[in-house]
Structure 1
């Protein structure tokens, strides 16, 4: 009797008015980025002083290391500038490159976590989530766009983002030779040796292409199988998805950690943490859960998802609540190990973030918004069962973990010249609007509810 009230054939309608709202957010973000660029570039009258400072460094370097090194610095001023810039001025372009990489990392994470959530529900044979699986599945549509943006981010700004891409670090005859980074050369450049001003990181680049290829292939494969399930009421496609999901989880277990090392950890090339793969996963995972929950709430509020009740919302709220604590556990474990070891090569990562006036406010705000707020706000049972409470909590978590990636990336790229303003806010709005548009466009192409999912009936009667 109860199941009669559920519309199993409903389909999301991405209306022109909703598209207009998404476009307005995206355009507003783009305008804020442009305003931030003009604001930053208007202060670039210090740039001439910065170039003079670079010239002084080159002259001093000539006195200390001889004429050969001075000629090297003159031939490749970008390298001299890179060494001198931490005490000079970074341009708006450097800041924009850092912002692009932050958003690449953040929204790539949302996309792949959507696929991960979809896969893990099948592998664990979960019944409660059967009615909402099309929402995380739609996130995967961002992956090919994310791949293109990653290529743009590397080829446009890779030498500013990744210090290890500079050839002089591996030249033992150079006074700028770095034995620590040279010891990691094979991880980036194998099977070749780094050579030239900007050696191409073959091994690093192959991993990037391979990871996105595997992720997108598994996403497309699982999506095709899930859509076939809508036509065939038998359980053969469900069993097939269980197997495909298991394969994806194995792939994801390896690629998520290595991608965190490649794309984020290597920015601070001297620093390392054995927990960093888990840390990035935790940030991605709770952000993805918040995004899934937020869209479920928005769709439910708009009259969709008749199969979802307050018990499903409660489960989603518990996920966001629990994994905010999990992220904090990983954060604290990483911090505590480095704190009590007190090794300079390790503590510098946190000192740069805790002791500078640019990053310290965000460092502590990061803990407040990503742990204390969701922990206290979602502690009660009722707060996890109401749309308004969940929307507020999820928006806070999504914004908070964007700040988390800002703290992972910006200090390593811009050093003490990092800042936060219109460019960062605008870039987050622009990417957020683009991701939302792609995800909702994908969601509108297929039925909103997998009506032949063998556990849908369990989901319809889900009660906790």
Structure 2
């Protein structure tokens, strides 16, 4: 890039970055194929974990954009292309997630339950197993049958498709209006962005907790927590902030977005710090209420995670996702140091992968799910490569890396805190 004020340069996706992302995708494909052949139930769990994680991070990009427009924030205008690139990927991430869930429900394997061999799906076996709502079936479960009006396959997929479709549509409109703003100038498209941002935040805020109920909590259909959806929303937001911040840092190291300075990084560090505390509050509140009530139908969720196979990961989860940002980036100076933020971002990205791991594995795989094998490592690498490839491709399609006609661009370029 020539100067920090040259906004006509485009991101070029080539060379080592492209090659490494393709190599990561190949590693992931090989690992997934091997996992499906040799350890199918565990691989399906990892596919669900990473597909859900990918979708959440992409949605977090749209949430970031919407918050900035709804708040009429100026400091972020010059970096908005990065979360916009995330938002453009929501349809593709959603499709991957829907395919994984559909395959996990469609394909079954034999499991011994109460001395009977039962054909259970690899995912959502607690409610999607045939006959669980049929009083004449040997698989009948009265608790699950009572939830059949909500937890049934047609309605389940209708909800997922509607939610993800709305996120994709509204996020796409946010990006489109920003690009139109570059072409024609004026305030018309900014006003449209403001209106759509408000609609998106309303829709997302009302539906994302239900999305978390469906995709993750329904794996354990006999258990419920009214806080689980907000817990997942907090995890989505923190992990998304970490990925956005890490992307900014990596692109600046390559010479892009050189107009972003320590003041912008301070704000991103502040967001990560604050919402890591919020995530911890939700985690602790959900755990404490269940622990204090000590009702069998409530503590069963935590009982599984206190088995020897998962208890170390259960406690490591809170240590990584709370103590690391709390101790490392509490001070103002730490938030303004790129190297420190880079380390914290990587910790949080891995930490919230562990968070989803603890949510999913104890139910879908059980004690055999403890630890990390090639399925976990390979699937993570593959999805990370896919995400890097898609985000880089999306960024390369922007005519400019900065919204040149954004009304608050000058404020962002001179941002100081």
Scaled by the length of structure 2, the TM-score of the pair is: 0.92
CA contact (8 A) 2:35 2:43 kept: no
Q: Which runs of 5+ in 2 are unaligned?
A: 106-120
Determine whether 1:368 maps to 2:319.
yes
- Equivalence for 1:127: 74
CA contact (8 A) 2:130 2:139 kept: no
Single out whichever of 201-210 and 328-337 deviates more from structure 2: 201-210
- 1:7 maps to 6
Aligned alpha-carbon RMSD (Å):
1.6
What number of residue pairs does the alignment pair up?
A: 397
Q: Aligned residue for 2:23? A: 24
Which range is displaced more, 298-307 or 22-31? 22-31
Q: Report 1:337-356 matches (<5 A).
A: 337-354=289-306, 356=307
Alpha-carbon distance in 2 for matches of 1:258, 1:457: 39
Please, which of 390, 394, 411 is the counterpart of residue 362 of structure 2? Answer: 411
Q: Specify which of 174, 194, 197 is matched with residue 245 of structure 1.
A: 197
Out of 142, 150, 154, the residue aligned to residue 202 of structure 1 is 154
Kept in 2: contact 1:10–1:449 (CA 8 A): no
SS at match of 1:168: coil
Q: Would you say the 8 A contact 1:7–1:306 is kept in 2? A: no
Q: Deviations over 1:336-359 (max 9, x none)?
A: 1111011111111111112x2221
Helix, strand or coil at the partner of 1:231: helix
Supply the distance in 1 between the matched residues of 2:163 and 2:36 (Cα, whole angstroms): 33
Structure 1 contact 37–423 (Cα < 8 Å) conserved: no
Matching residue of 2:110: none
Deviations 1:18-45 (A, max 9, x none): 101212233334445566678xx4xxxx
**Which whole-Å CA distance do the structure 2 matches of 1:232 and 1:37 have between them?**
50
How far apart, CA to CA, are the structure 2 residues paired with 1:462 and 1:416? Answer: 51
1:315-354 paired onto structure 2 within 5 Å: 315-354=267-306
Is the 1:141–1:438 Cα contact (8 Å) retained in structure 2? no
Whether 1:153 aligns to 2:100 is yes
Q: How does 1:64-79 map to 2 (within 5 A)?
A: none
Quick one: distance in 2 between partners of 1:33 and 1:262? 24
Return the offset for 1:422: 1.4
Contact 1:33–1:424 (8 Å) recurs in 2: no
TM superposition score normalised by structure 1: 0.83
* 1:71 match: none
Matched, 1:171 2:127: no
Larger radius of gyration, structure 1 or 2?
Answer: 1
Greater helix content: 1
* Aligned equivalent of 2:115: none
User: Aligned to 1:451, which of 395, 400, 404?
Assistant: 404
| Separation in structure 2 between the aligned mates of residue 300 and residue 5 of structure 1, nearest angstrom | 11
Q: Judge conservation of contact 2:328–2:344 (CA < 8 Å) in 1.
A: yes
- Could you tell me which of 189, 209, 219 is aligned with 2:171? 219
Give the corresponding residue for 2:150. 187
Are 1:265 and 2:212 matched, yes or no? no
